[in-house]
Amino acid sequence: MALPIGRETTHNDDGPGGVERLLERMSDANFNVRLVALMAVAAYLPGGDRRVAGAVRKALDDPKHKVRHAAARILKVPCPGCGRTR
């Protein structure tokens, strides 16, 4: 996987279609794709998009702990997988 994880990379290539694409990827069968999409979509949380907030909250129920953990960190809630906040 050569997809970059980073805040700088998430803002540039997106019009309104960018969020849609990320939200779609958050249902990908590959957890790495979901994880990268989650990190990227989190940058849109301050924008108040309900679909974004919903998708991040949904990631708390992801089958993969790594994804749930990342979602919990983003939402600043204890991880449903291990109970940690970091």
Which residues bind to Zn ion, rule: CB under 5 A? 69, 79, 81-82
Choose between 18 and 81: whose C-beta lies nearer to Zn ion: 81
Burial of 53 (0-12, 13-18, 19+ CB in 10 A): middle
Rounded Cα distance between 4 and 42, Å, is 14
- Residue 84 CB, shortest distance to Zn ion, in Å, is 5
Q: How many residues does the chain have?
A: 86
- Residue 49 CB, shortest distance to Zn ion, in Å, is 25
Choose between 19 and 67: whose C-beta lies nearer to Zn ion: 67
Q: How far apart are the first and last CA of the chain?
A: 24
Choose between 25 and 68: whose C-beta lies nearer to Zn ion: 68
